[in-house]
Amino acid sequence: MAKWSGVDELKLPAQQVEPYRLWFEFLKIAIQDRSIKVKPKIYESWGDVENLTFDKWWSDHWRKLFAVDVGVYQVQLSDARDVLRSIEEQGNGILIRIPLYQDPKRSLAQVEDILTANNASYRLRDMPRGQFHITVGEKDDGTQISPAQKFLRNLDNVRFLMNFYKFWVKHQDLQKTDRIEQATLSYFAWADAWNRKIREKKWKRPRIFIPQSVIDYNAYLKVRGNNRKRVSAYDRPQNMSDQTNARRQVDRYITKALKIAANVGNGQFPGKY
């Protein structure tokens, strides 16, 4: 997915849209999950999440919910007090006086020196936060861990958890054992069909990630069938590892997805999971 970080004066702290899309999709699924409590008041400003696609929702909401103001503009004296208060509260700028009766090049050089002295940068860890911001947990000293350190480099894993969670919620009327099995079968069938279509049509699109444990457990369930016959070593697919370990790993995926969903319900994404 092509990266887009905003417009000239409004930037996305994550410097790309995808993490916010994943937040939106996780929220949409969590609302349907009877085991997750989503606090409606937190998401009042998000509008009609349930009935809109992300693309239709995004253009009307990204500025207010996620963007930070990085524009340079003239402050009217009547607004100076409010601007100073914003700087004090959010740490999103500094107040600089620029004389009008000096060579502009000299003034720009002086401004650059001031910005350098104040550690101005475009690094994600140094960006101010929007109304809703990406959080991944805290260090032992209580400071926030930068999303750039791990989360934003591993969006494929979170995207997989979101998609697998979707099938987990789809089968929420089943008991846990049957639910794990059906979620695995459904996810694999969906992802494999899409990946086959990409190959057949030679599309230049990313393939859907299918972890080896999901491949192995799906293979076992296919061989075992609905009658739950015992799968002998002779019947086992050649490349399939132990189905017990595969199922255990699938269960871990579900646990992680549910933790992210619970965090989303409380207004955090992805949070600690």
Write the pLDDT tens digit of every residue in 209-250: 999 999 999 998 988 877 666 655 555 555 555 788 999 999
Query: What is the Cα–Cα distance from 27 to 268, expressed in whole angstroms?
Result: 10
Number of Cβ within a 10 Å radius of residue 127: 20
Give the pLDDT of residue 174. 97
Give the total number of structural domains in the chain: 2
Start-to-end CA span in the chain (Å): 24
Mean pLDDT value across the chain: 87
171 neighbors 186 (Cβ within 8 angstroms): yes
134 neighbors 151 (Cβ within 8 angstroms): yes
- Is 176 in the same domain as 222? yes
Q: Is the pLDDT of residue 126 over 60?
A: no
- Is 159 in the same domain as 253? yes
Residue 36 counted as domain residue = no
Residues 6+ apart with CB under 8 A from 145: 136, 137, 138, 139
Domain boundary among 126, 141, 172: 126
Q: Using one digit for the tens of pLDDT, what is the confidence trace for 139-179?
A: 777 777 777 767 888 899 999 999 999 999 999 999 999 99
Q: Using one digit for the tens of pLDDT, what is the confidence trace for 180-189?
A: 999 999 999 9
Query: What is the Cα–Cα distance from 50 to 54, expressed in whole angstroms?
Result: 10
Residue 133 counted as domain residue = no
Give the pLDDT of residue 60. 95
Give the pLDDT of residue 5. 85
- Is 223 in the same domain as 160? yes
Q: Is the pLDDT of residue 252 over 80?
A: yes
Query: What is the Cα–Cα distance from 133 to 42, expressed in whole angstroms?
Result: 13
- Is 108 in the same domain as 178? no
Q: Which helix (H) or strand (E) holds 68?
A: strand 68-69
211 neighbors 193 (Cβ within 8 angstroms): no
- Is 115 in the same domain as 163? no
More confident residue, 27 or 98: 27
Q: List beta partners, residue 11.
A: 6, 68
> Per the structure block, which two tokens stand in for 126?
């140094």
DSSP label of 1: -
Q: What SS3 state is found at 138?
A: strand
Residue 85 domain boundaries: 69-126
Residue 86 counted as domain residue = yes
Give the pLDDT of residue 103. 94
Give the pLDDT of residue 58. 96
Residue 273 counted as domain residue = no
C-alpha atoms less than 13 angstroms from C-alpha of 272 in its C-beta half-sphere? 5
**Percentage with pLDDT > 90 across the chain:** 57
Q: Is the pLDDT of residue 50 over 90?
A: yes
- Is 165 in the same domain as 215? yes
Report the pLDDT averaged over residues 82-93.
76
pTM of the model: 0.80
Domain boundary among 111, 126, 141: 126
195 neighbors 207 (Cβ within 8 angstroms): yes
Residue 81 counted as domain residue = yes
- Is 118 in the same domain as 162? no
Number of Cβ within a 10 Å radius of residue 10: 17
Residue 196 counted as domain residue = yes
- Is 162 in the same domain as 247? yes
- Is 104 in the same domain as 163? no
- Is 183 in the same domain as 245? yes
Residue 259 counted as domain residue = yes
